[in-house]
Amino acid sequence: MLTFFAGTADPSLGLRTAAAIALHNIPEGLAVAVPFAYATRRRTAGVLAALVSGLAEPLGAVLAWLFLRRLFTPGFLNGTVVLAAGVMVWVALAQLLPGALHPAHRTAGILGAAVGCLLMLLGIAALP
């Protein structure tokens, strides 16, 4: 939905957002496919589960456009981006970080957070 709104407002922003989400969808698809493949012992079940999971995003974008197109303004786009960013920050700080800093995996958690920050910094620096 955010990619669609961003692309409608600014095609360049839409392409950058789509690229970022596409990169995110690779590990997300694997996180869905692998457990299904192992649980059913069929690769096709894993591929199908990842496909169905991945189709939720474009379907959500179409539904959002159908229901929200009258509300679409630059302010609405900014509010949508802020809402999505807030949810992601909350998930990272309240849900992921405490588990990553648990004594059993503290080193891996700190390393993962540092590498993630570095990759984000490099990605932002690479933007035109």
Using DSSP, state whether 87 is helix, strand or coil.
Answer: helix
Residue 39 has pLDDT above 70, yes or no: yes
Residue 36 has pLDDT above 80, yes or no: yes
Average pLDDT, rounded, for the chain? 84
Handedness of CA 68, 73, 77, 83 (dihedral sign): negative
Which tens digits make up the pLDDT trace of 94-105?
888 888 888 888
- Give tens-digit pLDDT for 109-125: 889 888 988 988 887 78
Residue 81 host element (H or E): helix 74-90
Give Cα 104 to chain centroid, integer Å: 27
Q: What is the pLDDT of residue 128?
A: 67
Print burial letters for 21-45: b (CB count within 10 Å at least 16), e (below 16): eeeeeeeebeebbeebbeeeeeeee
Question: Counting every residue, how long is the chain?
Answer: 128
The pLDDT value recorded for residue 44 is 92
